[in-house]
Amino acid sequence: MLLSDQTVEPGEVFAAAGWEIKPEGACRGPVCVPLGEATTVQAIAQRLGMPLVTSDSHDLAALGPATVSGRALTSAVAPDLELPLVVGDGVWRLADQRGRRTVMVAWAPW
């Protein structure tokens, strides 16, 4: 979720992230997190275990998904992935790398 203001109404952030405000705090399913005085994006992110990246020079923040366990990934199993070869014909398959150490680098210009 992209935010252009780092001081927000907690209800806005929670609703957009799939959380519901209840007397016991922010709840999603059976999990509830006490809010206390969390009104800044940083405080909300910390309470909910959400990764946060900010750019003060651009007045922008990117808030990642909640990670109640403290981990961004739910498993270490990569999805089946196929990419066209840059040189020649054919397809590169991640499944063909099983059992080998493989480094994947992803980049996006935005």
In tens digits, the chain (110 residues) has pLDDT values of 777 766 666 666 667 777 787 888 878 888 787 877 766 777 777 777 777 888 777 777 787 776 655 555 666 677 788 989 989 899 999 999 888 888 878 777 76
- Which range of residues forms the domain containing residue 33? 2-63
Torsion of CA 30, 33, 39, 45, to 10 degrees: -90
Q: Which two tokens stand for residue 101?
A: 């150490």
Query: Could you tell me how many residues make up the chain?
Result: 110
Is the overall model pTM greater than 0.85, yes or no?
A: no
Cα–Cα separations (whole angstroms), residue 66 to 8, 49, 50, 51, 106: 17, 6, 4, 8, 22
- Decide if 14 is inside a domain: yes
* C-alpha closest to that of 32 among 22, 42, 41, 17: 22
- Decide if 87 is inside a domain: no
Number of domains making up the chain = 1
